[in-house]
Structure 1
């Protein structure tokens, strides 16, 4: 995008003033290089979001933003139900509650290197990954209902996970207000054999080393130490979430027209929050959030079991588990008044700052861990929510590096086999059922994650705590 199209507020904040049918401005957080590299579609989509009824304050764009379905990926927008606010399936995304979980091992790089290959093979063998991957877990109708209602609590009750995890999971492991009855039979059928699976695309499981610490005090509170090992899991609600998104997007096109909402883009299909369709979507979406929370809890259990084989006296403790693609009811300060808003985060993560009441006591003094996924060859970051994030973007931050090239373009440039070999020569072991999938997720297909998190920090969205480098990556 051409920066000349925006008003520059500071080195990492850009503004588009309301014009035409825009109800609020667009605010983009990025440095000059990042904004130049953003697709023009990001500008168009962010402006269209600013036209939706009931939107509050601004249509926000994160530093890792790229073109999405309706909303840009990396888009944040909050809607007021008392001012004709809407809920948009496109503003949540198809992979509902796609998120990241990071676990602390207490092990060092020196502990891992002698068993790195065996560990990579074991993780790949025992954790289903890839398109259509299925697990040994099969849910009947009663178990499906329980899982969609109870989230990670369902998983732990059945022996997959630990109760102490709950305080370190968003919503304490269970999203209230879920309505399994609003989830179609087709969506439930797609999920019947997919619990405890990674899926495909940009989902992964990585064994990572703490390569650099930026904030020693916060890293100490988080339990992060130089050269120690963490495990990060990135996945969501699998086929169930995708089916919910697909079905409600079609229904919301009709509902929007009936409600007199003039959609600037059909992909922005939405429904009034208080409408029957809006309430059904919220119930189904919350059930999908529980599905994702349960799925990551099960995967975490598998990781603990595999690590226990190699390191019998070792325990893996959860640092944090947070979602990216959600709409949450949150209390935010707007124009000097606290209001309950429906905050859409699509390809963006919650980033509560210090003293937020929802955070566990051990983290409250510093803020929420913000887990930023990179690409296979570049590493990831742990950030912490900043006190200024509330006023900047409803306590939100970027969620990853963000794609620079489409999957189709990546396939034209890279060979999956060569990427695997090149990364192995750098000490990074890739395991994937699909060399095509590896090529689509080539490190070069992503933006510079270091630049993204630096821009997020400079903009006051979150602060850098540590950089992680990959040792093993299981890709779908």
Structure 2
């Protein structure tokens, strides 16, 4: 790829050119670099032109083309003179992942997998337009948007310790429901506790490999253990918040004299009225997503209790981490501590031991980083290092990253064929739509092992465990 400067085997730099205020960096292997679209590189360079950006624009190993800002992208802006861009956070605000542990081994579950998976599928509404059975009034929705996962726990849908094992304790205090439109409210009140479609899933997994036994032991992970991964976000509410604010920001941008190379990167100063208001709306949508994942996990726990008779509190949350979000964080830039608005779009926070944001549970180790793969491969748990803070604003990859668009995948596959192929490999799939299964075919994604190996070899985070899928619920 032209114009790239190889800094080491896994880090490439795009030097400043044109309107770029800082360089851009790619964390990829040579094999993954071949799969990076020119459009994603152009988007990364465009991000580097935005006012107030510090250090460099970052592309993770799972980088691919997105709306304005690449998926698998990270950028940080000074809160005093930098911008915030809704395109840098995305439409599915606080799409994220949580991993629930169980006391079961694969031999305990194998003969009962179909029964458990069916119970989960029947208790968590899934698919395009899936609606919740929760009947929420306006006042309830406002509390969800303000308090996030805490609202769910206080309403008997979780354990208090779940909050200590959730990024931000599942609650951004900057949230303001008044910055959310009526249309977003209406979409959200019908969808709390639903999975959705696309790449969202609930997976019953088995721990196949342990790479760091001491950390795994501290975190309650062991070989052959049954765990459950949940991947979803803020549903239609988050999409509506993004839609509303992209329009507002694009209009307001003119009065601040900001010009961007792509209208999808519309941005305003973070410190402006519009910038702060968008951040408050985004935070409210993020809280909705944390409540959503908390409620879904509650229902998964209930399904295990009902079908297997194990106790609810025997299934602790390992961690819940967002990968489409903006955060106000302190980071060292050129030797000085700065307060930054960090955009992570398709990127996971990776804070090592000692960061003030961490709960006591993970103060000594750093929090778990969760990286899912496609439904035919594996997923990983990693532990962050200081190098993540030094190089990537405490950020890691978030998944495998697409190599086929959904349209391309549909042309290549039939959902029924994918389900049969996975069943032949011992993976049971239940889906509300065969179309979704075809769109999410395993070969639509990069090799998650390769993605994670880059993160591990660069030293941003170290592999702790690898899980393989056994049962999958899709929308």
For Structure 1 versus Structure 2, the TM-score category normalised by the shorter chain is over 0.9
TM-superposed CA distance for 1:168, in Å, is 0.4
Pairwise mapping of residues 94-113 of structure 1 onto structure 2 (< 5 A)?
94-113=91-110
Distance 1:437 1:340 in 2: 41
- Asked whether the 8 Å contact 1:256–1:263 carries over to 2, the reply is no
Structure 1 residues 316, 455: CA separation in 2 closer, same or farther (over 3 Å shift)? same
Distance 1:72 1:20 in 2: 19
C-alpha distance after superposition, 1:367-397 (max 9, x if no partner): 2100001111011111111121001110000
TM-superposed CA distance for 1:106, in Å, is 1.4
TM-superposed CA distance for 1:461, in Å, is 1.6
Q: Of the candidates 63, 76, 79, which is equivalent to residue 78 of structure 1? A: 76
- Asked whether the 8 Å contact 1:96–1:326 carries over to 2, the reply is yes
Distance 2:150 2:90 in 1: 25
Q: Of the candidates 44, 53, 75, which is equivalent to residue 46 of structure 1? A: 44
Pairwise mapping of residues 383-462 of structure 1 onto structure 2 (< 5 A)?
383-462=382-461
- Asked whether the 8 Å contact 2:366–2:383 carries over to 1, the reply is yes
Q: Of the candidates 26, 29, 45, which is equivalent to residue 27 of structure 2? A: 29
- Asked whether the 8 Å contact 2:3–2:15 carries over to 1, the reply is no
TM-superposed CA distance for 1:307, in Å, is 0.5
TM-superposed CA distance for 1:362, in Å, is 3.3
Distance 1:357 1:229 in 2: 31
TM-superposed CA distance for 1:355, in Å, is 2.0
Distance 2:305 2:336 in 1: 50
TM-superposed CA distance for 1:358, in Å, is 2.2
Displacement over 4 Å in runs of 4+:
none
Q: Does 1:468 align with 2:472?
A: no
- Asked whether the 8 Å contact 1:98–1:292 carries over to 2, the reply is yes
Aligned to 1:176: 173
C-alpha distance after superposition, 1:237-269 (max 9, x if no partner): 000000010111111111122211111000001
Distance 1:10 1:366 in 2: 28
TM-superposed CA distance for 1:225, in Å, is 0.3
C-alpha distance after superposition, 1:35-55 (max 9, x if no partner): 111111111000000000000
SS at match of 1:371: strand
Distance 1:441 1:194 in 2: 22
Q: Does 1:294 align with 2:268?
A: no
C-alpha distance after superposition, 1:87-120 (max 9, x if no partner): 1100000000000010110110001101011111
Aligned to 1:8: 6
SS at match of 1:56: coil
TM-superposed CA distance for 1:354, in Å, is 1.9
Q: Does 1:199 align with 2:196?
A: yes
TM-superposed CA distance for 1:357, in Å, is 2.3
What residue ranges of structure 2 are gaps of 5+ in the alignment?
none
Q: Does 1:129 align with 2:126?
A: yes
SS at match of 1:104: strand
Aligned to 1:61: 59
TM-superposed CA distance for 1:145, in Å, is 0.6
Q: Does 1:93 align with 2:84?
A: no
Structure 1 residues 362, 179: CA separation in 2 closer, same or farther (over 3 Å shift)? closer
TM-score (norm: length of structure 1): 0.98
Distance 1:230 1:132 in 2: 28
Pairwise mapping of residues 9-408 of structure 1 onto structure 2 (< 5 A)?
9-82=7-80, 84-314=81-311, 315-408=314-407
Distance 2:254 2:372 in 1: 38
TM-superposed CA distance for 1:285, in Å, is 0.3
SS at match of 2:386: coil
Distance 1:204 1:453 in 2: 20
How many residue pairs match? The answer is: 473
Distance 2:215 2:16 in 1: 39
TM-score (norm: length of structure 2): 0.98
TM-superposed CA distance for 1:363, in Å, is 2.3
SS at match of 1:358: coil
What residue ranges of structure 1 are gaps of 5+ in the alignment?
none
TM-superposed CA distance for 1:457, in Å, is 1.2
Distance 1:24 1:332 in 2: 17
- Asked whether the 8 Å contact 2:403–2:444 carries over to 1, the reply is yes
SS at match of 1:199: coil
Distance 2:3 2:222 in 1: 43
- CA RMSD between the two structures: 0.9
Bigger Cα displacement from structure 2, 356-365 vs 56-65 = 356-365
TM-superposed CA distance for 1:121, in Å, is 1.1
Distance 1:305 1:130 in 2: 21
